[in-house]
């Protein structure tokens, strides 16, 4: 299969499995269920890719290896598959996530990808071509795709935090915790990406074109260093550490390109983390006795009732109610809250 570059994908069994999974989920027809159950890919989640140009790369799915996507979908389809098959799919997802975390724990910067064989990049003086070992083209996409698998594992493991932490580690790497101290995302991080290779956001080569907007992710380190710019800078294959094979330059298409298959998982992972990360509690709002995030007459009523009855079952926020900071809830707190509502004071002795 070829587009603007050769993808080297000469096997489509995984694509047929994936589409059959989606068709079964959509239609519920038995012919699709029979097809996927007879597939060699049934319920699998790879941890090493086997097809196309990314063979031998740590990963779960990419443009040439799509079976894992079908299994992710099936793992959520509890009304269609048997309970045992759903359990198997989820167990396979957790097992794959465990492997990615094991890899991340073995890496200095906590990324769930290890060096792989990259063929045909070194030519010696005799014209003999050999391979090298390092990070593949589009390395950041593999990291994000594996973070997606960790997210599913988090959901299916009763929220075991090691999977959420693995996702955070991956995002930390992309945002600048890496050997280049480089955020690979435009507009984010202490040293954000500025000059990606892109046909439209190409202001470096044509000042009539725009800068890239915030939130664009570069493909990242690539030990292949196939573009002329990195070669012109004197960088040679196998001489630069894998995680340093990156240049924030518009001409370095082999390390700094923008692809949709990068930004789609970036959006997915970012949204998931935003929903699931435990956020710090808001600062205390002194005077908000009933915790409705406002200070009003209801707070006066509740603290008055508490002082008159000393009813310990009455639900109040004692920390917010102690507006003078003397560790007691008493008539002075009641008076201060009332004065605040009347406008006699604008702050409380504590927290002001």
Question: Quick one: 73 and 159 in the same domain?
Answer: yes
Q: What is the C-alpha to C-alpha distance for residues 316 and 321, in angstroms, rounded to an integer?
A: 8
Contacts of 81 (CB under 8 A, 6+ apart): 74, 89
pLDDT in tens, the chain (352 residues): 344 556 678 899 999 999 999 999 999 999 999 999 999 999 999 999 998 888 889 999 998 999 999 999 999 998 889 999 999 999 999 999 999 999 999 999 999 999 988 765 555 555 555 677 899 999 999 999 999 999 999 999 999 999 999 999 999 999 999 999 999 999 999 999 999 999 999 888 888 999 999 999 999 999 999 999 999 999 998 899 999 999 999 999 999 999 888 999 999 999 999 999 877 777 889 999 998 889 999 999 999 998 988 777 778 898 999 999 888 899 999 999 999 999 999 988 865 4
Show the domain range for 199.
13-276
Question: Quick one: 183 and 200 in the same domain?
Answer: yes
Residue 217, phi then psi, degrees to nearest 5: -105, 130
Question: Quick one: 261 and 306 in the same domain?
Answer: no
Q: For residue 30, give the CATH number of its domain.
A: 1.50.10.10
Number of independent structural domains in the chain: 2
β-strand partners of 193? 186
Residue 102 counted as domain residue:
yes
Q: What is the C-alpha to C-alpha distance for residues 82 and 310, in angstroms, rounded to an integer?
A: 56
Question: Quick one: 113 and 227 in the same domain?
Answer: yes
Q: Which of 232, 258, 276 is the last residue of a domain?
A: 276
Question: Quick one: 95 and 242 in the same domain?
Answer: yes
3-state secondary structure of 117: strand
Angle at 223 between CA 218 and CA 224, to 5 degrees: 95
Under 8 Å between Cβ of 184 and 98: no
Phi-psi category of 313—alpha, beta or left, where left has phi over 0 and alpha has psi -120 to 50?
Answer: alpha
Question: Quick one: 142 and 173 in the same domain?
Answer: yes
Q: Which of 225, 251, 276 is the last residue of a domain?
A: 276
Q: For residue 334, give the CATH number of its domain.
A: 1.10.1330.10
Question: Quick one: 85 and 120 in the same domain?
Answer: yes
Check: pTM over 0.85? Answer yes or no. Answer: no
Residue 133, phi then psi, degrees to nearest 5: -120, 135
Q: Which of 276, 293, 317 is the last residue of a domain?
A: 276
Under 8 Å between Cβ of 51 and 62: no
Question: Quick one: 91 and 229 in the same domain?
Answer: yes
């Amino acid at each position: 299969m070829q587009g603007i570059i050769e993808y080297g994908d000469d096997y489509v069994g995984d694509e047929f499995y994936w589409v059959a999974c989606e068709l079964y989920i959509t239609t519920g027809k038995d012919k699709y269920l029979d097809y996927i159950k007879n597939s060699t890919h049934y319920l699998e989640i790879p941890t090493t890719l086997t097809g196309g140009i990314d063979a031998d790369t740590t990963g779960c799915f990419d443009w040439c290896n799509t079976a894992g996507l079908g299994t992710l979908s099936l793992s959520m389809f509890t009304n269609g598959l048997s309970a045992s098959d759903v359990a198997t799919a989820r167990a396979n997802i957790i097992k794959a996530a465990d492997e990615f975390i094991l890899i991340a724990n073995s890496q200095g910067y906590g990324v769930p990808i290890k060096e792989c064989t990259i063929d045909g990049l070194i030519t010696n003086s005799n014209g003999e071509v050999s391979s090298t070992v390092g990070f593949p083209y589009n390395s950041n996409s593999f990291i994000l795709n594996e973070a997606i698998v960790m997210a599913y594992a988090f959901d299916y493991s009763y929220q075991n935090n090691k999977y959420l932490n693995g996702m955070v580690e991956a995002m930390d790497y992309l945002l600048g915790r890496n050997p280049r101290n480089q955020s690979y995302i435009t507009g984010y991080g202490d040293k954000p990406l500025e000059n990606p290779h892109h046909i439209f956001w190409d202001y470096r080569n044509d000042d009539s074109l725009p800068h890239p907007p915030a939130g664009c992710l570069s493909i990242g380190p690539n030990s292949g260093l196939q573009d002329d710019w990195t070669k012109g800078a004197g960088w040679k294959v196998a001489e630069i550490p894998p995680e340093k094979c990156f240049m924030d330059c518009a001409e370095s298409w082999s390390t700094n390109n923008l692809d949709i298959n990068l930004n789609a998982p970036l959006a997915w992972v970012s949204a998931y983390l935003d929903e699931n990360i435990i956020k710090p509690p808001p600062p205390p709002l002194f005077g908000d006795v009933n915790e409705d995030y406002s200070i009003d007459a209801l707070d006066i009523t509740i603290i008055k009732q508490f002082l008159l009855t000393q009813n310990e079952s009455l639900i109040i926020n004692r920390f917010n109610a102690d507006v003078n900071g003397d560790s007691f809830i008493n008539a002075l707190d009641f008076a201060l809250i009332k004065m605040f509502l009347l406008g006699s004071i604008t702050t409380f002795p504590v927290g002001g």
